[in-house]
Amino acid sequence: MGQKINPLGFRLGTTQSHHSLWFAQPKNYSESLQEDEKIRDCIKNYVQKNMRISSGVKGIERIKIQKGIDLIQVIIYMGFPKLLIEDKPRRIEELQMNVQKKLNCMNGKLNIAITRIANPYGHPNILAEFIAEQLKNRVSFRKAMKKAIELTEQAGTKGVQVQIAGRIDGKEIARVEWIREGRVPLQTIRAKIDYCSYTVRTIYGVLGIKIWIFVNEE
């Protein structure tokens, strides 16, 4: 069998950088890791709750965390920051309060910044959310995949592969369906590939969505 590896971890140090930057002693490592997880969950839940548009796409591409001695710097990369920045200072302050409560702020200050990313549909997380929303609304999965691939092509990527697995369209037997457009060279380490796996809960069970996007070659 082909040995599958997460394309992001495979490319660490070449085209991919870490999403969390900090140093911890071995005995505190697990705590810091859980802290990161809490921060990310808290931000995602907050955005989900306070969305004005009911499109269901949170539009968070990634959340970068950098920890200093007495400062935690969180950068949220968003495709549609309008969802959060409507009345910007108040919203971000509220979000900071929420996260600090969740952490019982162990070490010092927390600073949250929001960065806008160009052409959001060129990023797998946002695309996966789009497909998930379509599947929840009982759109046929082929239609959802085709639409997603169209959106990605408009964003100017070189190739995209979308895979959906589970009880597709509520069928009794689970199966895997996938579709590829352009080229997706998973074995080439130079190739910058963005990847995400996303779980979507539909009425007839849980589906898994995986998306690989070939951005460019270094």
Give the end of a domain, one of 116, 148, 169: 116
**pLDDT digit string, tens, across residues 165-212:** 999 888 899 999 999 999 999 998 999 999 999 999 988 899 999 999
Q: Is 140 helix (H, G, I), strand (E, B) or coil?
A: coil
Residue 176: its H or E element: strand 175-182
Single out the residue of 18, 22, 181 nearest to residue 106, CA to CA: 22
Give the end of a domain, one of 65, 82, 116: 116
Cα-based angle 46, 74, 36 (whole degrees, multiple of 5) = 75
Query: How much of the chain, in percent, has pLDDT values that exceed 90?
Result: 35
Q: How confident is the model at residue 86 (pLDDT cuts 50, 70, 90)?
A: low
d(CA 86, CA 59): 15
**pLDDT digit string, tens, across residues 20-36:** 999 999 998 998 899 89
Backbone phi, then psi, for 140, in 5-degree steps? -65, 145
| CATH code assigned at 110 | 3.30.300.20
- CB-based contacts of 75, cutoff 8 Å, min separation 6: 63, 64, 65, 66, 112, 113, 114, 115
d(CA 99, CA 109): 11
Number of domains in the chain: 2
Give the end of a domain, one of 116, 147, 168: 116
Domain housing 45: 17-116
Give the predicted TM-score (pTM) of the model: 0.86
**pLDDT digit string, tens, across residues 87-136:** 567 777 888 888 888 877 666 688 888 888 888 888 899 899 889 988 98
Same domain assignment for residues 88 and 135:
no
